[in-house]
Amino acid sequence: MEQNAQAYLVGAGPGDPGLMTVRALELVQRADVLVYDRLVSPDVVAQAPATCELVYVGKSPDRHTLAQHEINALLVEKAAPGRTLVRLKGGDPFVFGRGGEEAEELRSHGIPFAVVPGVTSCIAAPAYAGIPVTHRGMASSFTVITGHEDPSKLASSVDWEQVAHLRGTLVFLMGMKNLPVIAESLMAYGMPGETPAAVVERGTWPAQRVAVGCLDTIAADAAERGLANPAVIVVGQVAALHDELAWFDPRPLAGKTVGITRARHQASELRTELEALGAAVAEFPVSRLAPPTDPAPLAAAAASRETYDFAVFTSANGVKTFFRACEAACPAPADAAPSASSAAAVLAGAAVIAVGPATAKALATRGVRSAITPDSFCAEGVADLLSGRLGPSERVLLVRAEDARTVVADAVRAAGAELVDVPAYRTVLREDGKDDLLAALRAGSLDALTFASSSAARNTVALLDGDASLLAGVSLFSIGPLTTATMEGLGLAVRAEAGSSTVGGLVGAVLGSLGEPS
């Protein structure tokens, strides 16, 4: 069967990408189509090849969710001989994952499939909280139960009386909404209120949080801490072992949700750094890149073979668009090294200045490693750096955003140098994230929102139809003085500003304000 499988029902593990099986990783890395759920870590999805078709079928608040029969139909539609279809599910595909139904559907259509079991959250989340589900002398069995059903309903498919009399550990999945009534029902059927109980939220993720108490108090404890799904509920003596065996350190931003307003292609570094600190990250890409209104200066600079004494890049976006334009004007051979690209040739004789480390990095990955950066990572810093070095008849290439301020251009002109001014791109408002942003703000689910540029702040407020008061309950963070000034001008209260105008600085500001000492 496995030899000619077209579809794979694969468990991605509970969250920590290290808990994916070797087999699962192999399959994701060669998937042609990847159909995945909400509980699958973005780091796991990122393993798919660039050519892989990604289909997200998970639930998200306020968005149409594919019904199970639609997912089944999708799998049948996407499966084809010679193609690897990977259906990736959180935990194990056959533990409350509806994997069995998908397998039935594939079988009924004669589509050969294989199953790759995964590390299931019902064991792994307790384990990461220092809770063994069985323990000598304490629990010689464990039972995994859906918490999705309201125990007070008459026609429950779970026999609550029987469950309350089981002697081993009880693990409830999907139970946070019903936690109070689950606890009450167990006590009503005779389970002592002092039975140890725990809730493990986002087990194995950097944002893992744990509440431990007893059956009597656990619902209140969890509510007070705001614990919600995905979480497992553990009831039984073993829950008390957490105090002794906890080993997985909670991170300082665990339990915090931080929004990112950067354009999607620029968000990943910020996302990774925040997640490493335990934050849950929500992306609201309020901007996207667009070609400059007048494309002529960029095209001319890209095609020209003239040389410059200085070349100034004021953003990583500028680097990207300039190199792309040069490539379009004069393609390098496919096997050429980055340092032999046509853009690198244009820059060959010039002293290259990058506004900050991210811009310098964008240049370095394209073969230009000699860029220098100013002391302060902003236009004023670049102007200072230039004015100390620039001679009257020298030529300066300035690659910038169309709506950039004129600080650098003014400095070049003031020195009597020749300016080749290239507006290389515009950032324009991206409207498709509006509903997500509004929903998150209305639900109060964001603790923080980060702004890495003035345009991100302007576009965010534009998306909210100018109503900055919607952001009143959220801590707002700015990457630097200019963005802060723009935000304040828009009526936004800045909670903290980055110490240095870099992604690391921005993360540091969030951490300094919202982080809990561990």
State which of residues 231, 267, 482, 509 lies at the interface with ligand SAH (CB under 6 A): 231
Q: Output 253 or 363, the one with its CB closest to ligand SAH.
A: 253
Q: Output 27 or 449, the one with its CB closest to ligand SAH.
A: 27
Q: Which residue is nearest to ligand SAH (CB)?
A: 91
Report the chain's terminal Cα–Cα distance, integer Å: 50
Active-site residue, selected from the candidate residues 32, 43, 138, 174: 174
H or E segment to which residue 488 belongs: helix 481-489
**Least distance from C-beta 43 to ligand SAH, angstroms?**
13
* Beta pairing, strands 85-89 & 7-11: parallel
Token readout for 188 is 């009503």
Q: Output 177 or 389, the one with its CB closest to ligand SAH.
A: 177
State which of residues 7, 74, 125, 127 lies at the interface with ligand SAH (CB under 6 A): 125
Biggest alpha carbon–alpha carbon distance for the chain? 91
The stretch among 52-60, 225-233, 438-446, 450-458 that binds ligand SAH (CB under 6 A) is: 225-233
**Least distance from C-beta 235 to ligand SAH, angstroms?**
14
CA–CA distance, 219 with 211 (Å, rounded to integer): 10
CA–CA distance, 246 with 239 (Å, rounded to integer): 11
Q: Output 14 or 285, the one with its CB closest to ligand SAH.
A: 14
Residue 220 interacting with ligand SAH (CB under 6 A): no
Residue 236 interacting with ligand SAH (CB under 6 A): no
Is-catalytic flag, 59?
A: yes
The stretch among 60-68, 93-101, 328-336, 345-353 that binds ligand SAH (CB under 6 A) is: 93-101
Q: Output 121 or 287, the one with its CB closest to ligand SAH.
A: 121
- CA dist list (Å): 16 to 277, 382, 420: 14, 42, 49
Residue 326 interacting with ligand SAH (CB under 6 A): no
Residue 120 interacting with ligand SAH (CB under 6 A): yes
CA atoms within 13 A on the CB side of 432: 5
**Least distance from C-beta 197 to ligand SAH, angstroms?**
15
State which of residues 7, 8, 15, 448 lies at the interface with ligand SAH (CB under 6 A): 15
Residue 41 interacting with ligand SAH (CB under 6 A): no
Residue 202 interacting with ligand SAH (CB under 6 A): yes
Active-site residue, selected from the candidate residues 59, 62, 153, 410: 59
Write the CB contacts of 310 (distance below 8 Å, at least 6 apart in sequence): 350, 351, 352, 353, 386, 389, 390, 394, 395, 396, 397, 417
Token readout for 73 is 């139909």
State which of residues 97, 196, 259, 423 lies at the interface with ligand SAH (CB under 6 A): 97
CA atoms within 13 A on the CB side of 364: 12
CA–CA distance, 298 with 316 (Å, rounded to integer): 16
- CA dist list (Å): 198 to 195, 228, 231: 10, 13, 10
Alpha helices, DSSP H, located in 13-135: 22-29, 42-45, 68-78, 99-108, 121-128
**Least distance from C-beta 283 to ligand SAH, angstroms?**
20
Positive or negative CA dihedral for 128, 129, 135, 141? negative
CA–CA distance, 230 with 194 (Å, rounded to integer): 25
**Least distance from C-beta 125 to ligand SAH, angstroms?**
4
CB 123 within 8 A of CB 149: no
State which of residues 6, 84, 121, 342 lies at the interface with ligand SAH (CB under 6 A): 121
Number of residues that bind ligand SAH (CB under 6 A): 24
Residue 116 interacting with ligand SAH (CB under 6 A): no
The stretch among 55-63, 90-98, 290-298, 375-383 that binds ligand SAH (CB under 6 A) is: 90-98
Nearest to 145 by CA among 235, 85, 214: 235
**Least distance from C-beta 181 to ligand SAH, angstroms?**
16
CA–CA distance, 360 with 371 (Å, rounded to integer): 6
Active-site residue, selected from the candidate residues 16, 37, 221, 436: 37
DSSP state of 114: E
CA–CA distance, 259 with 282 (Å, rounded to integer): 5
Q: Output 78 or 89, the one with its CB closest to ligand SAH.
A: 89
Residue 379 interacting with ligand SAH (CB under 6 A): no
Residue 377 interacting with ligand SAH (CB under 6 A): no
- Determine the distance from the C-alpha atom of residue 306 to the mean position of all C-alpha atoms in its chain, rounded to a whole number: 42
Token readout for 219 is 């619902």
Q: Output 146 or 304, the one with its CB closest to ligand SAH.
A: 146
Q: Which of residues 135-194 bind ligand SAH (CB under 6 A)?
A: 173-174
Estimate the share of the chain in helix, then strand, then coil, as percent rounded to the nearest 5: 35, 20, 45
DSSP state of 13: B
The stretch among 201-209, 243-251, 465-473, 498-506 that binds ligand SAH (CB under 6 A) is: 201-209
Q: Output 199 or 360, the one with its CB closest to ligand SAH.
A: 199
Q: Output 89 or 366, the one with its CB closest to ligand SAH.
A: 89
CA–CA distance, 487 with 496 (Å, rounded to integer): 12
Q: Output 99 or 285, the one with its CB closest to ligand SAH.
A: 99
Residue 259 interacting with ligand SAH (CB under 6 A): no
- What residues act catalytically? 37, 59, 174
Which residues of the shown chain bind ligand SAH in the complex (CB under 6 A)?
Answer: 14-15, 39, 89-92, 95-97, 120-121, 125, 173-174, 200, 202-205, 229-232
